[in-house]
Structure 1
Amino acid sequence: MGLTIREADITTLAVDAIVNAANPSLLGGGGVDGAIHRTAGPALLAACRALPEHPRGVRCPTGEARITPGFALPSRFVIHTVGPVWHGGGHGEPAQLAQCYENCLRLAREHGLASIAFPAISAGVYGYPPDSAARLAVRTVREAPWAPEEVIFCTFGAAMTRVYEAALADALRG
């Protein structure tokens, strides 16, 4: 598995799947979620609306993942996952965040994908401390029983890039 950090707009990556740091409705929002929906076009919203709701309004509970086509994106698929909102770390947030990565990798394996790009799940408006989120993301992907040939941690901005570079360097030293 090739594991890299790339500072870029995730909607521009020509990979088999990009991961959407979504909200439970999967109907778009701000940040990465909004950018993916805007770039993919209205067909993505229609595909998300077609997914079953359990309970009402929830198409993807925290820690789970769903897959749709990429539509107008250069990626073939979008894997939507809902990260935990940070409440201090004592409410299962690390386990839920690890489940996001594990479930995205499971869907990638089930669909025979060779490349995947992850954003910094939960490290934005959901408040997860970036250093902790990056270390957990890198560790979870490196320890996964299966991963695509190419895994990209796609960062937006120099500060987040440095956080992920440090997490990867620590993991490689450890």
Structure 2
Amino acid sequence: MKFTAKNIAYLALLTAVSVIANTLTLTMPGSGIALSFTYIPNFLAGYFFGPGAGFVVGVLGDALGCIIWPKGAWLPLITLSAGLMGAIPGLVRYLPLSKRWHIAISYVAVYIVCSAGLNTFTFWKAYAAAKKTFWVYFIGKMPISLANMSLNLVINTMLMPLFDRILAPRAKRATARPQGENQ
């Protein structure tokens, strides 16, 4: 990514939206089950500006959200998961597929790695390990987690045409490979 003033401003804006989304997350106390829209700004940062930018937006959005509006102990694996929510779409975008497939594969990968993987394990370890086995917790959390991810996917898909017009020209320049680099 080229670090132009405009790209940094876009990333700062996406980070601010991620912080706001993080502070507005609705969490059921002590369960780790939440309704969150942090996927959207993290996805957009990774998709349009590359995996590194997406990772940074996700990590900063989560860390600043935890500082501004703490909802319990800071869990580093959740912050890592937020970063991966931004990095995965940036990596998937390099696959030679259509935009719809990029979005679908990104959300499935984020769901498996972040929601079903890191987040579930971290919340189980922090809040439920003494009371439930991992698989009981996992099965109980998955319907709500899947509904949350599906809602984020629908919203993101509806917003993509708007962000394509705003960010796509910038993103092509930001994520372009230098001449002479193998594709």
TM-score normalised by structure 1 residue count: 0.32
Q: Which has the higher helix share?
A: 2
Query: Which of structures 1 and 2 has the bigger CA Rg?
Result: 2
More strand by share: 1
